[in-house]
Chain A
Amino acid sequence: MVETSPFPADTEHVITTSKVNFFYGATQALFDITMDIPGRRVTAFIGPSGCGKSTFLRIFNRMNDTISGTRLEGDVRINGEDIYENGSNVVRLRRKVGMVFQKSNPFPKSIFDNVAYGPRIHGTHDRQQLAEIVEKSLIRSALWDEVKDRLETNALGLSGGQQQRLCIARALAVGPDILLMDEPASALDPKSTIRIEDLIGELRNEYTIVIVTHNMQQAARISDYTAFFYEGHLVEFNATKKIFTKPREKQTEDYITGRFG
């Protein structure tokens, strides 16, 4: 599978993995995945349910650690640092690698306390400073205008789309470089989905974004690069335009043309 690199010559790869195998107990979920993810670009993971794309995403902030009986082989580096090395600091890693989940999960606290949660646990307690972070994060996530007059109300009173943008604001508030998004719009109505996609478009120049999506149009709309996973294997990874116009692999073509999945 030698080929010309899809990346421009000056591309900086922020996340690099080499021969990653992943196991849930005795079941192997990922096979020999070697992949370099470029910085300050949007990379989409697509593939049918159970293909391992979410599992692979959750490797980058070590969220799979919370599931007992899981095991990882291979090398995963973020900015050159081996994140699975013994003594590697998970708390510091997760500050740099934020995550937005499929099901929006704001805490049952006020909007302000949701966004301020991260900065607070990392040691910021000055009310003025917190207020600035909260405002900045909410502006970034395009939610500020809708909630600025009710920051002290319970976040669960927001609509589904607003809750998801709040979760993005909450992730941005700790100052990450990388944003992992696990099907962030799959539970939202079309209009809210568009807002999330627009938001990703606005964040793309400042953050390295990796997004798992079921929706191929979405991948085509918002991503620079697309990786297609199938049964735990990385089948194809290329510039999004190439994947959707001239896929190299038969399986990829079958999937994006809707022949299976």
Chain B
Amino acid sequence: MSRRRSEQITYFLIRLVMYFIVLVIGYILFDIVRHGLPALNWAFLTEYPRKSGSEGGILPAIVGTLSLLAGTILVALPLGICSAIYLSEYAEQNRFTAMIRLAIITLAGVPSIVYGLFGLGLFVLFLNFGTSILAGSLTLACMVLPTIIVSSEEALRAVPHGYRDASLALGATKWETIRTNVLPYSLSGIITGSILGIGRAAGETAPILLTVAAFYLPRLPNSIFDQVMALPYHLYILATQHPEADKVLPLQYATALVLLLLVLGLSLGAIIIRIHFRKKYRW
């Protein structure tokens, strides 16, 4: 077989795989939009559920997921970025930090139900936060921390060394150098990576199942020590636990659609932030 021929075949196979994946994802999206859109309306977004979710809207679940996300971002973003700065800029590159990195990567692969159990043990029971927004946010934060640290560290390392050298040689301290000539240039990468991780947390059911999510709670939370409904858990209930699962099928689709749009909104936000910083600091 000629080299040209094998080149063509390889190219064709790679394209085929790509089309297949796009097709599968495209079909899932199409199916959700097709079935979800008819049930999606203003009332669905702004009303409380009635008759254990057979009627009414999903406002508490939306608010619940949003507050969980806010809590997760508030806790995980500063912790993750600071850890990444330490690992990339301050820590000696030795066996100990290599082990820390290995641990972080391993944590990124731990099944989410394990985080749920961990959160239940530590935050709900031991620290006595109860099943609450606080416990759920902290659990989700633990889950996304590895992703944030790894992607932030990569973004920091991508900043050319020349900027650090130039800044230090001008008499800047290490922290001044990081603050003015490393962080600003890597912020677009840090934000993008972090939001992708947090977007995943938005759709997780297992970690919130044991730490915060309410089966049916048709009111809004008063404090961070309240339980809330959450979109993924609500979806799970409607699909598997509801006595009239078939009847509420359109509501399931609409809920899935709302969750998708929420994650899409997060990603869009990440893209906008990235464009902003790319424009400001081009390198």
Contact = CB atoms under 8 A, between A and B. Distances in A.
Contacts of B164: 66
Interface stretch (B139-147, B173-181, B231-239): B173-181
B283 interface: yes
Interface string A142-172: 0000000000001010000000000100110
B170 A121 contact: yes
B185 A98 contact: no
Interface residues of A, number: 28
Nearest to B181: A107
B223 to A, nearest CB: 43
Interface stretch (A2-10, A89-97, A215-223): A89-97
B92 interface: yes
Contacts of A174: 170-171
Contact of B283 (A98, A118, A156): A156
Chain B binding surface SS class? helix
A105 B166 contact: yes
Given A68-B93, A92-B171, A117-B180, A109 B281 contact: yes
Nearest to B177: A121
B172 interface: yes
Contacts of B172: 91, 117-118, 121
Interface string A83-105: 00000000111110011010101
Interface in B36-90: none
Interface in A30-78: 61, 63, 66, 68
24 contacts: A63-B169, A66-B164, A66-B165, A66-B168, A91-B171, A92-B171, A94-B168, A98-B170, A99-B169, A101-B165, A101-B166, A107-B166, A107-B181, A108-B283, A109-B281, A117-B167, A117-B172, A117-B180, A118-B171, A118-B172, A122-B171, A156-B282, A174-B170, A174-B171
Q: Which 10 A-B pairs have the closest CB atoms?
A: A105-B162, A94-B171, A108-B283, A99-B169, A118-B170, A95-B171, A108-B281, A105-B166, A91-B171, A121-B172
